[in-house]
Amino acid sequence: MTTATLHPPTARRPGPKSWLALVGAEAKMVTRDTSGLIIPLGLPLLILVMSAAPASQEVIVNGRTALDLFVLPLVLTVIIATIGIINMPSFLAYYRRSGILRRLAVTPASPAMVLVAQAVVSLLQAVLGLALALAVAFWGFGANPPAHLWAGVGIFLLALAAMYALGMMVAAVAPTPNSAVAIGLVLFFAFGALGGLFGGVQMLPDALAPLADWLPFGAAVQSLGSAWAGVAVEMTHLVSLATTTVIGTGVAIWLFRWE
């Protein structure tokens, strides 16, 4: 009787179907979180609808109105800030708190796959928010496209990276989902208050006004406004967004733990 040689099974790396399945699972998690789904889409639209009518009548420069130069940049920044700084960290903190990341660490589906899938779903949510806001602004209130379209696209992507870097940093230090939301809200409102969320930057006290150029929220709003106006983007704003991306990513990598 011949005894067959037994070989231990070889673990296979997850293929495209596994990645798509994980992205689909993450999408279901996001859609089940009603507040996390509605607020990043509903709050910016509320700001837009409340401000668009009078702003669309005030021409500022190059045929662009206050709606184009101030309201739309603010709305787009609110979308990516709420998703990147508040929503995404709460999911990652929940996965770590519940032990999902630790259990995945011993399977071919590494915890990094969860991070990538969550980033993909968050990006899709941001694109949906962007599409809704632009559709309402263009078709409902006659908004104009950016005078420097590709500069606007590049700035939006850079601002998105900066907000996600901040969110990953929050996820790295927050021990629980609730604390992730709390930290994210504090950062969102602090950066927003200093970046024009509750009024123009010119309304800030003289001691605080320079912070609008260096903090990512204000830098995103002002640089997007420059792209819409067709004027040169201030290097300070680009440096702010790039620095936030680099520092936030570095701190997140340094501090993030799977359990």
Domains of the chain, by residue range, sit at 34-255
* Of 20 and 148, more confident: 148
Report how far residue 152's alpha carbon sits from residue 158's, in angstroms, rounded to the nearest whole number: 10
Give the angle 44-50-56 at the CA atoms, nearest 5°: 100
3-state secondary structure of 64: strand
| 135-168 pLDDT per residue, tens | 999 999 999 999 999 999 999 999 999 999 999 8
Report how far residue 107's alpha carbon sits from residue 69's, in angstroms, rounded to the nearest whole number: 49
| 176-191 pLDDT per residue, tens | 888 999 999 999 999 9
Return the minimum-mean-pLDDT range out of 52-66, 111-125, 225-239. Answer: 111-125
> In this structure, which long-range contacts are made by residues 55-60, counting pairs with CB atoms below 8 Å and at least 24 apart in sequence?
56/141, 56/142, 56/143, 60/229
Can you give the pLDDT at residue 84? 92
Question: Do the beta carbons of residue 85 and residue 188 sit within 8 Å?
Answer: yes
| 200-229 pLDDT per residue, tens | 777 777 778 788 888 999 999 999 999 999
Q: Which residues contact 150 (CB under 8 A, 6 or more apart)?
A: none
Can you give the pLDDT at residue 1? 47
Spell out the alpha helix ranges (H) of 60-202.
Answer: 66, 72-81, 88-97, 100-104, 111-135, 141, 149-173, 177-193
| 82-134 pLDDT per residue, tens | 999 998 888 888 878 877 777 766 666 666 677 778 888 888 888 999 999 99
Q: What confidence category does residue 10 fall into, taking pLDDT thresholds of 50, 70 and 90?
A: low
**Biggest CA-to-CA distance, the chain:** 92
Q: How many CA atoms lie within 13 A of 212 on its CB side?
A: 23
| 28-44 pLDDT per residue, tens | 877 777 777 788 888 88
- Tell if the pTM clears 0.85, that is, is over it: yes
Report how far residue 82's alpha carbon sits from residue 37's, in angstroms, rounded to the nearest whole number: 10
The DSSP result for 165-225, as a single string, is HHHHHHHHH-SSHHHHHHHHHHHHHHHHHTTTTTS-GGGS-TTTTTHHHHSHHHHHHHHHH
* Of 154 and 14, more confident: 154
Over pLDDT 90: what percentage of the chain? 42
Strand partners, 59: 65
Can you give the pLDDT at residue 230? 92
Question: Do the beta carbons of residue 245 and residue 165 sit within 8 Å?
Answer: yes
What are the tokens at 74?
């603010």
Can you give the pLDDT at residue 13? 62
* Of 63 and 25, more confident: 63
